[in-house]
Amino acid sequence: MRRCLALSLAVIVPRCSPAPTAPRNPVENLGQQAPNAPLPAQDVPVAPLLQALLDTAAAGSAHAADARLGLQAGPDVRALYDSADAPIWTTASGLTADAAAAWQQLGRAAEFGLPADYVSAALAALRDSLALPAGPARRSWQRARLDLQLSDAVLRLMRDLHRGRLRPQAEPARARGGAKWQPAAVLRAALGRGTVPAAMLAGQPTTREYRQLQAALARWRARPVPPDSAATNRARYQQAALNLERWRWEAWAPTPEYLFVNLPAYELQVVAHDSVRRRHRVIVGKPETPTPTLSSVVRYFTLAPDWHVPRSIATKEILPRLREDPGYLALNNLALYDQQGRLLDPFAVNWRAVTAQRFPYTIRQSAGCDNALGNVVFRFANPYAVYLHDTPMRQFFAAPARAFSHGCVRLAEPLALAAYLLRREGRPVRLPSEAECARQPAPRNVRLARPMPIYIRYATCTAENGRLRFFADVYGRDERVRRALFGPTAGPDENQAAR
């Protein structure tokens, strides 16, 4: 520790010139003590030492100053001390009550799915050094360095809870377009008021799904773990943790009502005022044609919709069938149109000469019971041309794993969802029966007076009634996030987190 402090001092203070000069400030005065001279008996103010350590000009740049001190949240640390004229976490007698509370909160990082490394060995050693004998000057340097290192740990945890550990520079989805979150200002406002732990957690997502998963994970970790279950327990912990990380990236801003589609769960939930009002089974995209995650708003739905076959399906799946039998279109209630929208006879086309790159046609399926979109399709703007819709292939909803589509989301009991959306705005609109569907009615759009937000996300671990629920990683996305958070194998901190 003495060698560490001496090295820090040498970096900050310029070497003395041979000619005696009057000291310019307390830091320089401390640096000019003769090697064997006794340290001054009087207290050395800590505030000038803090400012000297944070001096970016002396280091050459902010990056160099952060690297010299080992700060990972350097800009936020400097913002915290910008208006401070005294240490934040220490007094002459040791740590403050705020410091003790912050230290305890740092030790709970694993409850939030974060690696338990915010209290480093170096930080712990700095704290422990305050209990060892030291002269006033050395004690002041110990306090200054401890103050900065503890601030860095606290602000780093606050940043990671807000933005995510793996995306520290990116604003999360819920914060885009609003005022930028300022952790230093939030922390400064809590000092001396007994609210530091709450301030450290204030930047987390407030989305119901994140809150419930985090609370369930904290309870799950507190239960006893049999020794022979350690490996399974660790894997489960990491799966829950990486999903909390995803929520920090992708949680949405608070909204009272919304549709939530969880792809690995094959489920759509209608959430209103923090409770699930309806559940619908869904079919999602195959691994080779995955359903994208997105945020949008359902503004209307179409009854008895036409299906405009996506070009990718037309060229990859229908074109090979047409080369064998142009009658395939009629057998499947499909019609062929040119680029001007004119109906064509598929038997008049030389399909052997048509390629996927040169396909000047559109294919459309009219309304009816065999229409690929079924009785209703829910429309929402998105760059992927996906939507939520009925399907005539309802037998597939009985399968436990339902990744069968080309990317759109197929919905069980879709007319019940349409009726719910209409009831919530007091606008009863008559919906077609199965018999009316068979008569192939004309498509009809029903616009919502109160559009409904829809969020499609990928969560392989959720919470239900305070308990963790785990789902298969259908698109193989978990491992990359897990390794980035915890590394290829479990270390001591991770094993501790799993208990």
Domain harbouring 471, CATH code: 2.40.440.10
Of 201, 226, 255, which residue constitutes the final position of a domain? 201
Q: Is position 4 annotated as part of the catalytic site? A: no
Of 173, 201, 229, which residue constitutes the final position of a domain? 201
Confidence class for position 23, pLDDT limits 50, 70, 90: very low
> Among the options 16, 63, 308, 408, which is catalytic?
408
pLDDT of residue 437: 65
Q: Are residues 181 and 235 in the same domain?
A: no
Q: Would 380 be classed as within a structural domain?
A: yes
Q: Would 251 be classed as within a structural domain?
A: yes
Q: Are residues 179 and 248 in the same domain?
A: no
- In tens, the pLDDT along 429-453 reads 777 776 676 566 778 899 999 999 9
Confidence class for position 30, pLDDT limits 50, 70, 90: very low
Asked if the model's pLDDT at residue 32 lies above 50, the reply is no
pLDDT of residue 440: 62
Better pLDDT: 290 or 327:
290
Q: What average pLDDT does the structure give for the chain?
A: 86
Q: Are residues 18 and 150 in the same domain?
A: yes
Calpha distance 133→173 (Å, rounded): 50
Which stretches within 171-258 are classed as H helix? 183-190, 196-201, 208-221, 230-250
Q: Would 355 be classed as within a structural domain?
A: no
Q: Are residues 177 and 212 in the same domain?
A: no
Q: Would 130 be classed as within a structural domain?
A: yes
pLDDT of residue 498: 36
DSSP state, residue 443: P
Which of 141-155, 275-289, 339-353 is predicted least confidently?
339-353
Q: Would 394 be classed as within a structural domain?
A: yes
Mean pLDDT score, 344-351: 90
Q: Would 346 be classed as within a structural domain?
A: no
Contact 441, 303 (CB under 8 A): yes
Mean pLDDT score, 398-422: 95
Q: Are residues 210 and 137 in the same domain?
A: no
Asked if the model's pLDDT at residue 194 lies above 80, the reply is yes
Q: Are residues 98 and 210 in the same domain?
A: no
pLDDT of residue 203: 96
Mean pLDDT score, 116-123: 94
pLDDT of residue 20: 37
pLDDT of residue 154: 98
Asked if the model's pLDDT at residue 129 lies above 60, the reply is yes
Mean pLDDT highest for which of 12-21, 55-64, 74-83, 462-471? 462-471
> Among the options 389, 406, 437, 461, which is catalytic?
389
Q: Are residues 239 and 383 in the same domain?
A: yes
Mean pLDDT score, 6-29: 36
Nearest one of 204, 211, 202, 207 to 253, comparing CA atoms: 207
DSSP state, residue 114: -
pTM beyond 0.85, yes or no: no
For residue 280, list its beta bridge partners. 268
pLDDT of residue 334: 85
pLDDT of residue 368: 67
Task: Please give the C-alpha separations between residue 323 and each of 1, 406, 425, in angstroms, as whole numbers.
Answer: 80, 22, 49
Mean pLDDT score, 103-120: 96
Burial 3-16 (b: 16+ CB within 10 A, else e): eebeebbeebbeee
What's the chain's Rg over C-alpha atoms? 31
Of 183, 201, 219, which residue constitutes the final position of a domain? 201
Q: Would 23 be classed as within a structural domain?
A: yes
Q: Are residues 270 and 403 in the same domain?
A: yes
Contact 451, 298 (CB under 8 A): yes
Number of domains the chain is built from: 2
Instruction: Specify the 3-state DSSP secondary structure of 467.
Output: strand
Q: Are residues 260 and 130 in the same domain?
A: no
Confidence class for position 384, pLDDT limits 50, 70, 90: very high
Q: Are residues 133 and 281 in the same domain?
A: no
Calpha distance 326→336 (Å, rounded): 10
Type of residue at 237: Y
Q: Are residues 191 and 218 in the same domain?
A: no
Mean pLDDT score, 201-225: 96
Q: Would 322 be classed as within a structural domain?
A: no
Confidence class for position 178, pLDDT limits 50, 70, 90: confident
Mean pLDDT highest for which of 34-48, 107-121, 324-338, 356-370? 107-121
pLDDT of residue 340: 86
The whole domain housing 377 covers 205-306+366-499
pLDDT of residue 304: 82
Mean pLDDT score, 56-70: 90
pLDDT of residue 335: 84
pLDDT of residue 434: 64
Q: Are residues 233 and 142 in the same domain?
A: no
Q: Is position 162 annotated as part of the catalytic site? A: no
